[in-house]
Amino acid sequence: LMQVLRREGLEPIQSKGAPFDPSVHDAIAVAKAPANVAPGTVIEEASPGYRFKDRVLRHAKVIVADGPPSAEHGHAKGGPADSGEAAS
């Protein structure tokens, strides 16, 4: 059955080691990043995802590497909380 489905265009979504992409991944957990792994990288796949041609049939359930807070998330100095401005 899997051979027929793959021949028709079904393919697994490659997740482990890839950057987290919400269009194909569902994050079920966040874990401390191992050495040499960038934050936001998929470090484990709990359940595989599948794509049929260009359409996602099932998102991959993944565990994503966590990292230190960054400026883009408003946790570093100079973010909205430090500027004295009210967040809108």
**Residues 8-50 pLDDT 10s:** 889 999 999 999 999 999 999 999 988 899 999 999 999 999 9
| pTM (2 d.p.) | 0.69
| Rounded CA separation 21/35 (Å) | 21
For residue 21, count CB atoms less than 10 angstroms from its CB and return exposed for 0-12, middle for 13-18, buried for 19 or more: middle
| Rounded CA separation 20/47 (Å) | 15
Task: Inform me whether the pLDDT recorded for 80 exceeds 60.
Answer: no
| Rounded CA separation 17/65 (Å) | 10
- pLDDT of res. 68: 59
